[in-house]
Amino acid sequence: MADTTGKLDDKVVLITGAARGQGAAEARQAAEHGAIVAVCDIRDELGEAVAAEVDGSYYHLDVTSAGQWREVVAAVVETHGKIDGLVNNAGIYLGDTVLDANEDNFRRVVEVNQHGVYLGMTSVAPTMIEQGAGSIVNISSIAGMRGYGAIAYAASKWAVRGMTQSAAAMLGPHNVRVNSIHPGAIETDMLFDLGEAAAERLVRSVPMGRSAKSEEVGAAVMFLLSDEASYMTGSELVVDGGLITR
Ligand SMILES: NC(=O)c1ccc[n+]([C@@H]2O[C@H](COP(=O)([O-])OP(=O)(O)OC[C@H]3O[C@@H](n4cnc5c(N)ncnc54)[C@H](O)[C@@H]3O)[C@@H](O)[C@H]2O)c1
C-alpha cells in the first residue's frame, strides 16, 4: 500500500487517459492521497470501472475535442466548484520513423499528444486563474528530451515540453504551476505494444536495469499536484531509471 498522507485532501483532480495504464494508477494514487478524482478517457467501460474504484466520477473526454473539454470542465466545476489539478496524461504511440513516414499517422499523434495537451491547458486555465491556484502536470516522455526514432511521437513530446514552459511563464503570476514529467520504459500496454524484442532492447539500455511500474511515475505526479511542490513551475522531472544518461 502506498503512503497515504492526505496531501491531496479535498483537491479536485482531473486526469485524462485514466481508464488504464499510468492514468488509472494516478487516479488510484490521487484518491489514496485524499483527492476527488475526475476520471476521463474514451474507453468508457474501463474508465467507469476505475471511477467506481476510486469513488470518483467518469467523464467521456476525447482530448482532441475542444467541445468535449468545454463540457467536462463545466461539469466538474458545476459539481465540485473548482479544479485544483489537471494531469494531461492521455497519449498514443505510433512508431513511424523519418524512413517510413506516414502523414496521417503523424497528424493523428500530434492531434492527441500535442493538441490534446494544448486544449487541456487552455480549457482549465481560466478556472485556475479565477481560483488563484492550480497545478497542471503534462506527461511528456524521454522522447521529448532527445532524438527518438518515432518521429511524430518525438515531435509531440518535445512540443509538450515547450508548451509546458510557455504556460508556466504565463500562468506563474496567477499561482498556477505547470510542469512536465518524462517517463522512460513504463509497464503499460503502450510499452507491451512495442513487441517483446523492442521492449527488451529498451529495458536493457536502462542503467537501473529494469522498467518501472506506473505508480513510480504516479509518485512524481502526486508530488507536483500537491502543495509540497508549491514553488515548482516549468520544471521537467525525468522518471526513467537513468535511460537518457546513455
Ligand atoms: N508506457 C511508457 O513506457 C511511456 C513512456 C513515456 C511516456 N508515456 C506517456 O504516458 C502517458 C500514458 O500512457 P500509458 O503508458 O499509460 O499508455 P496506455 O496506452 O496504457 O494509456 C493511454 C490512455 O490514453 C487514452 N487515450 C488515447 N487517446 C485518447 C484520446 N484521444 N482522448 C482521451 N484519452 C485517450 C487511452 O484510452 C488509454 O487509456 C502517455 O502520454 C504516454 O505517451 C508512456
What is the strand order of the sheet 85-88 is part of?
57-60, 36-41, 12-15, 85-88, 134-139, 176-183, 236-239
> Are 28 and 6 spatial neighbours (Cβ–Cβ below 8 Å)?
no
Q: Which residues line ligand 1 (CB under 6 A)?
A: 16-17, 19-23, 41-43, 61-64, 89-93, 112, 139, 141, 183, 185-186, 188-191
Q: Alpha helix locations (H) across 39-115?
A: 44-53, 66-80, 103-109
Q: How many CA atoms lie within 13 A of 100 on its CB side?
A: 5
pLDDT at 104 over 70: yes
Specify whether the CB–CB gap between 124 and 73 falls below 8 A: yes
Active site residues: 153
pTM of the model: 0.98
The pLDDT > 70 percentage for the chain reads 98
* For residues 57-84, average pLDDT: 98
Question: How far is ligand 1, taken at its centre, from the CA of residue 81, in Å?
Answer: 28
**Tens-place pLDDT, residues 109-149:** 999 999 999 999 999 999 999 999 999 999 999 999 999 99
pLDDT surpassing 80 at residue 5: no
Domains, the chain = 12-233 (3.40.50.720)
Contacts of 28 (CB under 8 A, 6+ apart): 50, 53, 54
25-62 pLDDT, tens digit each: 999 999 999 999 999 999 999 999 999 999 999 999 99
Ligand 1 mean position, distance from CA 137 (Å)? 14
